[in-house]
A and B are shown apart, each in its own frame.
Chain A
């Protein structure tokens, strides 16, 4: 099971771009990289998933270098409502999700 490492917390201001990097040195060939967002007293919400290179959707972008040992979640122009905990997970089809502590992002006005 690939272990992930991400910063415990990050601070940002409204309108800034936020990049959260996750390390997963032991990622397996068939593992995918997935990010979830969790607000207080709510369940996590799927944000984005990728295997290699770059993935973009209406919420975020995910950058994955060629060696896939890390990934970066990019949130463009954050607002106060983006204040949440962000989890980086690495797993494959049939594999178990392992949630670490996540990164607590605080967006200030």
Chain B
């Protein structure tokens, strides 16, 4: 079955370390997104990419970096510059660009990052 795979499901990071969250999709979708969710809150957009080798900052990009070298993959690096990285991170994709109307967004099952 096609879908989005995020790994790992749980991740622990020491302060000052960079960590990379993996997101892979086999849906042949053009656009991919990273969201952050804090307890009791909605999702906030970190970065998005509408084509390979191109990406744009979302609303809360500071302290994060991404790459899009392959259509299937959109890894997110949480750097030591991110002051409050403990959160639930969700990756999503759409067939077309942002604001896909037909069919909606497909989300992965998330990675829960905890700073220890």
Which stretch, A13-21, A60-68, A72-80, A94-102, touches the partner chain B? Answer: A94-102
In-complex Cβ contact of A99 among B43, B97, B100, B109 (8 A):
B43
What secondary structure prevails in chain A residues at the interface with B? loop
What does the 1/0 interface line of B21-54 toward A look like (CB < 8 Å)? 0000000000000010000111111000000000
What does the 1/0 interface line of A36-50 toward B look like (CB < 8 Å)? 100001111110010
CA distance A53 to B86 in the complex (A): 42
CA distance A45 to B109 in the complex (A): 10
A-B contact count (CB 8 A): 61
- Whether, in the assembled complex, B105 has its beta carbon less than 8 Å from a beta carbon of chain A, the answer is yes
Q: Assuming the A-B contacts A42-B110, A46-B103, are A96 and B42 also in contact, with contact meaning beta carbons closer than 8 angstroms in the complex?
A: no
- Whether, in the assembled complex, B64 has its beta carbon less than 8 Å from a beta carbon of chain A, the answer is no
In-complex Cβ contact of B97 among A44, A94, A97, A102 (8 A):
A94
Question: Residues of B contacting A92 with CB < 8 Å?
Answer: 99, 101
In-complex Cβ contact of A41 among B100, B105, B110 (8 A):
B110
Interface size class of B (residues with CB under 8 A): 20 to 34
- Whether, in the assembled complex, B68 has its beta carbon less than 8 Å from a beta carbon of chain A, the answer is no
**In the complex, what residue of chain A is closest to B103 when comparing beta carbons?**
A46
Q: How far is the CB of A103 from chain B (nearest CB, A)?
A: 11
A102 lies within 8 A of B42 (CB)? yes
A-contacting residues, B62-113, CB 8 Å? 88, 90-92, 97-101, 103-110, 112
**In the complex, what residue of chain A is closest to B58 when comparing beta carbons?**
A96
Question: Residues of B contacting A95 with CB < 8 Å?
Answer: 98-99
List of 9 A-B pairs having minimum Cβ-Cβ separation, nearest first: A43-B107, A46-B104, A99-B42, A95-B99, A99-B43, A94-B99, A43-B90, A100-B42, A93-B99
Which residues of A come within 8 Å of B, CB atoms?
A: 32, 34, 36, 41-46, 49, 87, 91-102
